[in-house]
């Protein structure tokens, strides 16, 4: 929250507070002059000149109030939009290094909710928290001082009622509402995560118990969200009652106190309505305080969740003093041990593996032997706990991350396919590839039919669901082949293919001049161009 407030501190926010205060004061002055004008007119002055200054005042304050309000809104929105842009940029800057390894434990919907809903909630910090609080102090203070010039006793009452309405009532409401705000933030996030999980895994969910369990979970999240909203509505009702009642008390007190002076002949009658209506108008200074206190809990919770996300430690970090990228593309794992956070046993222990420049190596081994982990280490999605991984003789940890990832293309076992077109998915591999390049690589990986049916610019469905698992794997392979990387890391690219297609893909890779490290369960399908490394044999026995 402190970090958030530091982001909005500055002359623009101060200007918004001053303009907001002027709006309130113009409103109060408009009521006061109108009151004086009516009283003055009722006294039937012999000449209109007596009323002229009051008529001018009413016009002036009426017009200025609208103009100043407009200016205040412009400045407030400007500060808000700048804030949101900065928070989003900072959050994405912090999130990017977390991907992919440090985000594997995060639910996608939860991430989406934090990046979208929580950041949206932070927008309110300027318009609903900082500016209304500043206006309450500045405009409230000026109104009390001006009232004191007419009636010090009324000023004391006004100050006390402003504190009641601006501090005591909202503080009590906020205290009661804090739990509700937290519950609402949690319920929103759970609902987003559950909905996204449900949509993503719809086929699995339906094939289980027809979706009954998933719908029950979703229903429970909805109930929690509804309950949180009901609690918030109850609080709003009570605070609305106070907001309407307290200014009425102020009006009556002002009429009584100033009226006593008028009756005693010590105060001009013109000031009676002026002061009473001015006092009524002054309560607008704290009109935003109730909302400010009630949103403060939600904003604090959202800021905390955004901060916590940004403070996660990335699985790999940029080197302080990066070395230039080496010329060669030989890949070596030397005495590598990798243990996943929280895992009982290491996935890899003291592994040595050398893949020479241009060599074709196939990793085989039982499920869970650590084949995919080798690829994750090679692309520096993770760092080894012991040993080192080198490219062209240089430790990957000493090379710039972007550089490593431009030299090694990784087609994961369950590749990410964006809900865009075939072309957008392929251009993730090489952004400047022409349509002809894309068609050629699709033919190479046996996706010519898909390209013909779907079209290069046809939608592949959410997460590529209009493609079969084998087609998605070949799309990822095509993406890797298209890239300018000189090392291809391919995780079971032939897993879902029929034998003829698998053989043609392996032949294509065997002919590729680049270094290829391939994970496969089917060592028998490989010809003499491939060196097979069995991880079960390569990794020393686990302790
Ligand atoms: N992100 C992770 N967090 C924790 N443990 C993991 C993670 N990824 C893999 N593991 C564990 O590490 C071990 C090696 O996994 P890996 O995916 O590298 O094996 P694999 O040989 O590729 O298996 P498969 O052939 O089934 O794909 C397994 O025991 C697995 O459960």
Q: What is the pLDDT of residues 422-475, one digit of tens each?
A: 999 999 999 999 999 999 999 988 898 998 998 899 888 887 888 988 889 889
Q: Is 338 in the pocket of ligand 1 (CB under 6 A)?
A: no
Of 447, 444, 34, the C-alpha closest to 277 is 34
Burial class from Cβ neighbours inside 10 Å (0-12, 13-18, 19+) for residue 27 reads buried
What per-residue confidence (pLDDT) applies to 249?
94
Per the domain annotation, does 115 fall within a domain? yes
User: What are the respective helix, strand and coil percentages of the chain, to the nearest 5?
Assistant: 65, 10, 25
Residues 304 and 390 in one domain: no
Cα separation, 345 vs 539, whole angstroms: 13
Residue 392 pLDDT > 90: yes
What is the residue-wise DSSP string for 467-501?
S-HHHHHHHHHHHHHHS--SEEEEESTTTTS-HHH
Question: 368 C-alpha to center of ligand 1: Å?
Answer: 5
Cα separation, 537 vs 522, whole angstroms: 16
Q: Is 536 in the pocket of ligand 1 (CB under 6 A)?
A: no
The CATH number assigned to the domain holding 265 equals 1.20.1560.10
Residues 390 and 443 in one domain: yes
Measured in whole angstroms, the distance separating CA 123 from the mean position of its chain's CA atoms is 11
Residue 105 pLDDT > 70: no
257-289 confidence digits (pLDDT tens): 999 999 998 888 889 999 999 999 999 999 888
Q: Which two tokens stand for residue 388?
A: 């080192």
Q: pLDDT band at residue 326, thresholds of 50, 70 and 90?
A: very high
Question: What are the residues whose beta carbons fall under 8 Å from the beta carbon of 481, sequence distance 6 or more?
Answer: 409, 429, 441, 444, 445, 488, 508, 512
Residues 463 and 379 in one domain: yes
Residues 182 and 299 in one domain: yes
What DSSP state is assigned to residue 114? I
Residues 233 and 265 in one domain: yes
Cα separation, 412 vs 491, whole angstroms: 5
Asked if residue 400 lies in contact with residue 389, where contact means CB atoms within 8 angstroms, the answer is no
Residue 158's domain comprises 2-310
Question: 499 C-alpha to center of ligand 1: Å?
Answer: 26
Per the domain annotation, does 84 fall within a domain? yes
Across the chain, mean pLDDT equals 87
Question: 411 C-alpha to center of ligand 1: Å?
Answer: 16
Last residue of a domain, one of 276, 310, 344: 310
Per the domain annotation, does 317 fall within a domain? no
Which atom of ligand 1 sits closest to the CA of residue 101?
1
Q: Is 343 in the pocket of ligand 1 (CB under 6 A)?
A: yes
Average pLDDT rounded to a whole number, residues 223-248: 85
Question: What are the residues whose beta carbons fall under 8 Å from the beta carbon of 350, sequence distance 6 or more?
Answer: 335, 336, 337, 386, 387, 539, 540
Q: Is 369 in the pocket of ligand 1 (CB under 6 A)?
A: yes
Cα separation, 416 vs 419, whole angstroms: 10
514 sits in which H/E element: none
Asked if residue 353 lies in contact with residue 538, where contact means CB atoms within 8 angstroms, the answer is yes
Per the domain annotation, does 350 fall within a domain? yes
What per-residue confidence (pLDDT) applies to 242?
85
Which atom of ligand 1 sits closest to the CA of residue 370?
18
Q: Is 346 in the pocket of ligand 1 (CB under 6 A)?
A: no
53-104 confidence digits (pLDDT tens): 899 999 999 999 999 999 999 999 999 888 888 888 887 777 777 766 666 5
Between 27-41, 167-181, 331-345, 489-503, the lowest mean confidence (pLDDT) is in: 167-181
Report the nearest-CA residue for atom 18 of ligand 1.
Answer: 370
Question: 347 C-alpha to center of ligand 1: Å?
Answer: 7
What per-residue confidence (pLDDT) applies to 110?
65
Measured in whole angstroms, the distance separating CA 55 from the mean position of its chain's CA atoms is 52
If one compares 401 and 21, the residue with the highest pLDDT of the two is: 21
* Interface pTM, i.e. ipTM: 0.96
Question: 372 C-alpha to center of ligand 1: Å?
Answer: 7
Which atom of ligand 1 sits closest to the CA of residue 492?
27
Q: 241: how many CB neighbours lie within 10 A of its CB? A: 11
Asked if residue 78 lies in contact with residue 12, where contact means CB atoms within 8 angstroms, the answer is yes
Per the domain annotation, does 95 fall within a domain? yes
Cα separation, 407 vs 425, whole angstroms: 19
Residues 285 and 344 in one domain: no
Residue 173 pLDDT > 90: no
Question: 81 C-alpha to center of ligand 1: Å?
Answer: 43
Which atom of ligand 1 sits closest to the CA of residue 345?
29
Residues 369 and 492 in one domain: yes
Residues 238 and 145 in one domain: yes
Measured in whole angstroms, the distance separating CA 342 from the mean position of its chain's CA atoms is 27
Residue 106 pLDDT > 70: no
Q: Is 340 in the pocket of ligand 1 (CB under 6 A)?
A: yes
Between 94-103, 158-167, 320-329, the lowest mean confidence (pLDDT) is in: 94-103
Question: 348 C-alpha to center of ligand 1: Å?
Answer: 10
Which atom of ligand 1 sits closest to the CA of residue 105?
1
Report the nearest-CA residue for atom 6 of ligand 1.
Answer: 340
Average pLDDT rounded to a whole number, residues 161-186: 82
Residues 382 and 474 in one domain: yes
What per-residue confidence (pLDDT) applies to 541?
44
Residues 429 and 287 in one domain: no
Share of the chain above pLDDT 70, in %: 95
SS3 at position 106: coil
Cα separation, 277 vs 258, whole angstroms: 12
Q: Is 35 in the pocket of ligand 1 (CB under 6 A)?
A: no
Cα separation, 280 vs 40, whole angstroms: 19
What is the tally of structural domains in the chain? 2
Q: Is 377 in the pocket of ligand 1 (CB under 6 A)?
A: no
What per-residue confidence (pLDDT) applies to 464?
84
Which atom of ligand 1 sits closest to the CA of residue 535?
21
Helices 289-310 and 131-150 pack at an angle, to 10 degrees, of 150
Q: Is 96 in the pocket of ligand 1 (CB under 6 A)?
A: no
Last residue of a domain, one of 310, 344, 372: 310
Question: 371 C-alpha to center of ligand 1: Å?
Answer: 8
Last residue of a domain, one of 280, 310, 340: 310
Q: Is 370 in the pocket of ligand 1 (CB under 6 A)?
A: yes
Residues 339 and 480 in one domain: yes
The CATH number assigned to the domain holding 448 equals 3.40.50.300
Report the nearest-CA residue for atom 9 of ligand 1.
Answer: 373
Question: 367 C-alpha to center of ligand 1: Å?
Answer: 8
Residue 331 pLDDT > 90: yes
What per-residue confidence (pLDDT) applies to 543?
38
Report the nearest-CA residue for atom 2 of ligand 1.
Answer: 340
**Residues paired with residue 13 on neighbouring β-strands, in sequence order:** none
Handedness of CA 472, 461, 89, 117 (dihedral sign): negative
346-361 confidence digits (pLDDT tens): 999 999 999 999 999 9
Q: Is 345 in the pocket of ligand 1 (CB under 6 A)?
A: no
Q: Is 365 in the pocket of ligand 1 (CB under 6 A)?
A: yes
Which atom of ligand 1 sits closest to the CA of residue 519?
22
Q: Which two tokens stand for residue 286?
A: 């704290």
Report the nearest-CA residue for atom 14 of ligand 1.
Answer: 370
Handedness of CA 439, 442, 443, 448 (dihedral sign): negative
Question: 345 C-alpha to center of ligand 1: Å?
Answer: 11
Per the domain annotation, does 319 fall within a domain? no
Report the nearest-CA residue for atom 17 of ligand 1.
Answer: 372
What per-residue confidence (pLDDT) applies to 542?
43
Question: 339 C-alpha to center of ligand 1: Å?
Answer: 10
Residues 382 and 299 in one domain: no
466-524 confidence digits (pLDDT tens): 898 888 988 999 999 999 999 999 999 888 788 888 888 899 999 999 999 999 988 77
What per-residue confidence (pLDDT) applies to 350?
93
Share of the chain above pLDDT 90, in %: 46
Per the domain annotation, does 318 fall within a domain? no
Per the domain annotation, does 152 fall within a domain? yes
Q: Which two tokens stand for residue 375?
A: 């690829």
């Amino acid at each position: 929250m402190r970090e958030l407030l530091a982001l909005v501190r500055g002359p623009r926010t101060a200007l918004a507070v001053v303009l907001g205060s002027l709006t309130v004061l113009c409103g109060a002055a408009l009521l006061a002059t109108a009151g004086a004008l009516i009283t003055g007119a009722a006294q039937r002055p012999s000449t209109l000149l007596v009323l002229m200054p009051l008529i001018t005042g009413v016009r002036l304050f009426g017009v200025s109030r609208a103009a100043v309000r407009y200016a205040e809104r412009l400045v407030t929105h400007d500060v808000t939009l700048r804030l949101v842009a900065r928070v989003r940029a900072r959050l994405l800057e912090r999130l990017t290094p977390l991907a992919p390894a440090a985000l594997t434990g995060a639910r996608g919907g939860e991430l989406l909710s934090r990046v979208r809903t929580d950041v949206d909630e932070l927008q309110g910090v300027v318009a609903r928290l900082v500016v209304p609080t500043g206006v309450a102090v500045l405009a409230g203070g000026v109104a009390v001082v001006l009232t004191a010039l007419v009636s010090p006793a009324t000023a004391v009452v006004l100050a006390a009622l402003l504190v009641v309405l601006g501090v005591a009532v909202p503080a009590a409401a906020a205290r009661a509402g804090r739990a509700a705000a937290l519950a609402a933030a949690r319920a929103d996030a759970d609902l987003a995560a559950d909905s996204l999980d449900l949509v993503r895994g719809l086929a699995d969910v339906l094939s289980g118990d027809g979706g009954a369990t998933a719908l029950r979970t979703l229903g429970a999240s909805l109930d929690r969200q509804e309950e949180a909203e009901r609690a918030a509505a109850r609080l709003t009702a009570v605070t609305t009652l106070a907001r309407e009642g307290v200014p009425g008390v102020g009006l009556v007190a002002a009429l009584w106190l100033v009226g006593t002076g008028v009756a005693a002949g010590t105060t001009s009658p013109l000031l009676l309505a002026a002061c009473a209506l001015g006092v009524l108008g002054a309560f607008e200074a704290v009109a935003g305080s109730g909302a400010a206190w009630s949103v403060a809990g939600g904003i604090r919770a959202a800021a905390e969740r955004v901060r916590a996300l940004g403070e996660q430690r990335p699985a790999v970090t940029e080197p302080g003093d990066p070395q230039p990228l080496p010329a060669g593309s030989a890949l070596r794992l030397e005495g590598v041990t990798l243990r996943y956070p929280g895992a009982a046993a290491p996935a890899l222990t003291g592994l040595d593996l050398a893949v020479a420049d241009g060599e074709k190596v196939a990793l085989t081994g039982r499920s869970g032997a650590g084949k995919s982990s080798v690829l994750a280490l090679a692309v520096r999605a993770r760092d080894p706990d012991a040993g080192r991984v080198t490219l062209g003789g240089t430790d990957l940890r000493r090379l710039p991350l972007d550089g490593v990832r431009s030299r090694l293309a990784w087609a994961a076992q369950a590749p990410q396919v964006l809900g865009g077109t075939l072309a957008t998915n392929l251009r993730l591999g090489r952004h400047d590839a022409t349509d002809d390049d894309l068609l050629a690589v699709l033919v190479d990986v046996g996706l010519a039919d898909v390209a013909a049916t779907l079209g290069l610019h046809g939608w592949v469905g959410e997460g590529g669901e209009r493609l079969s698992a084998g087609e998605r794997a070949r799309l990822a392979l095509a993406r890797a082949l298209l890239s300018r990387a000189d090392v291809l890391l391919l995780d079971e690219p032939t897993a879902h293919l029929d034998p003829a297609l698998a053989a043609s893909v392996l032949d294509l890779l065997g002919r590729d001049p680049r270094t290829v490290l391939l994970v496969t369960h089917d060592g028998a399908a490989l010809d003499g161009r491939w060196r097979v490394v069995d991880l079960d044999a390569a990794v020393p026995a686990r302790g």
